[in-house]
């Protein structure tokens, strides 16, 4: 089985993430959306909420599984019996960091391949950070996230 893992904090899952996951689901037999606990980043939404929201948004994609994880990505990849790591590139500025990560992961797990997908143009400027900032300031994020995510952010920030 050709399994791809798409890791991230997904704080929150955006339409850009959904776009990449949906397209990856057509390329791979199975896509594992690996939601990192990321305590060092201090996510706004707790891990259980991020998992629940992502599962709700991705429910119609039959070959997509959402799981939480912590620890080394390469160890998680081995647990999932996956050799493809999926990453998104929004802009050229993402590439240097992503290349460094890809090479480090390959040094730890030589059979690992990193595949980069770019978002549709209408999603190329969306980031979880910007969505959180807009929501925190009471702005409308409904164009950038699923309605359930928008409602969760509205509730989180009491806006």
Which residues form the catalytic set? 17, 41, 90, 128
d(CA 120, CA 73) in angstroms, rounded, equals 26
| Tokens found for residue 85 | 């790591």
Beta partners for residue 32, in sequence order:
5, 65
DSSP state of 111: T
d(CA 159, CA 157) in angstroms, rounded, equals 5
- Beginning with the edge strand found earlier in the chain, give each strand of the sheet holding 84-88 in spatial order: 64-69, 30-36, 3-8, 84-88, 113-117
Residue 128 DSSP SS3 = helix
């Amino acid at each position: 089985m050709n399994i791809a893992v798409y890791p991230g904090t997904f704080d929150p899952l955006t339409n850009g993430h959904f776009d990449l996951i949906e397209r990856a689901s057509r390329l791979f037999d199975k896509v594992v959306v690996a939601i990192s606990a990321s305590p060092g980043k201090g996510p706004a939404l707790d891990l259980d909420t991020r998992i629940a929201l992502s599962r709700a948004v991705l429910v119609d994609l039959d070959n997509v599984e959402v799981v939480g994880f912590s620890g080394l990505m390469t160890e998680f990849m081995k647990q999932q019996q996956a050799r493809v790591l999926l990453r998104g590139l929004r802009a050229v500025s993402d590439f240097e960091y992503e290349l460094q990560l890809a090479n480090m992961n390959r040094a730890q797990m030589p059979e690992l391949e990193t595949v980069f997908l770019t978002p549709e143009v209408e999603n190329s400027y969306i980031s979880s950070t910007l969505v959180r900032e807009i929501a925190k300031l009471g702005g409308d994020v409904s164009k950038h996230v699923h309605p359930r995510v928008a409602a969760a952010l509205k509730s989180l920030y009491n806006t």
